Amino acid sequence: MFQILKARLHQGYRTFPFPEKQPPMAPRYAGRPKILPGSCKGDCAACVGICPTGALSRGAGNRPVIDLGRCIFCRACEEACAEKLISFTQEFSMAANSKEALVIADEKFKQAEAMGNELRRLFGRSLKLRQVSAGGCNACEADTNVLGTPNFDLARFGIQFVASPRHADGLLITGPVSQNMKLAMQKTYEALPSPSIVIAVGACAVSGGLFKGNSEVNDGAAGIVPVDLFVPGCPPHPWTILEGILRFMGRL
């Protein structure tokens, strides 16, 4: 028993002091991209052609445009761009209130805004979520589950995952919403007490990701239930998920 207590004291305080302090990200972490000033020369479309999810397109002046809702952050476009206009930063804040806000054409990004005053009164200090894996590969699910560990300690913000939608304030959806999970997700949403919120986490839940256009999936959650917060990534970093939820709650 003494050895256990000694080991615990040696470990010290494990929870990272976020949001008071910004967490350090790994050097190889691919965060929110930005489009640098300049324009593509000639008819080069290497970045568009190499993107596995069709997240890249060309906008005004042949400049690249990135849809974060479809991006899997493979960085292939960054390597393919001869003009070096595409740059993936270490910024982990990427949540948005709409799919349109996830489209990046320059260095600017509109971060998620807090929920309305009435919802903030109800959920701003305590938020119970029912997680629905709608055909996901378990990557987004794993990064969601890890939020319960001491390092992130989701519960200190009053956020908890619950077993039943009838005990929840909203849904957190992962996966592209397969045909087999469509009805289950609809019924889970309908079982929520009103008012409620919906959070789509990961490229699959936002847009269908790598599976977009496949007849066996529904290209994300927004076409089936109303989504209030979109968290891009493949999978999103746990800090990205937590930061997005806290920003939506009006805690940042």
pLDDT at 102 over 90: yes
Pairing between β-strand 127-133 and β-strand 170-174 as defined by DSSP bridges: parallel
3-state secondary structure of 122: helix
Separation CA 139–CA 206 (nearest Å): 15
Question: Are 225 and 199 spatial neighbours (Cβ–Cβ below 8 Å)?
Answer: no
Task: State the burial class of residue 155 (Cβ atoms within 10 Å of its Cβ: 0-12, 13-18, 19+).
Answer: exposed
pLDDT of residue 60: 76
The better pLDDT of the pair 41, 242 is held by 242
pLDDT of residue 82: 83
Task: State the burial class of residue 219 (Cβ atoms within 10 Å of its Cβ: 0-12, 13-18, 19+).
Answer: buried
Instruction: Give the ranges where 154-228 is alpha helix by DSSP (H).
Output: 179-190, 203-207
Question: Are 132 and 172 spatial neighbours (Cβ–Cβ below 8 Å)?
Answer: yes
The structure tokens listed for 83 are 């003009």
Q: What is the mean pLDDT of residues 144-169?
A: 96
* Confidence grade of residue 36 (pLDDT, cut at 50, 70, 90): confident
Whole-model pTM over 0.75: yes
Nearest Cα residue to 68 out of 190, 188, 201: 201
Nearest Cα residue to 153 out of 20, 80, 242: 242
pLDDT tens, position by position, 46-84:
788 899 999 998 887 778 899 999 999 999 999 988 888
* Confidence grade of residue 186 (pLDDT, cut at 50, 70, 90): very high
pLDDT of residue 196: 97
Tell me, which fold does domain 117-248 have in CATH?
Rossmann fold (3.40.50)
The CA radius of gyration of the chain, in Å to the nearest whole number, is 19
Q: What is the mean pLDDT of residues 196-200?
A: 98
pLDDT at 120 over 80: yes
Poorest-confidence range of 37-41, 67-71, 142-146, 193-197? 37-41
pLDDT of residue 8: 66
pLDDT at 9 over 90: no
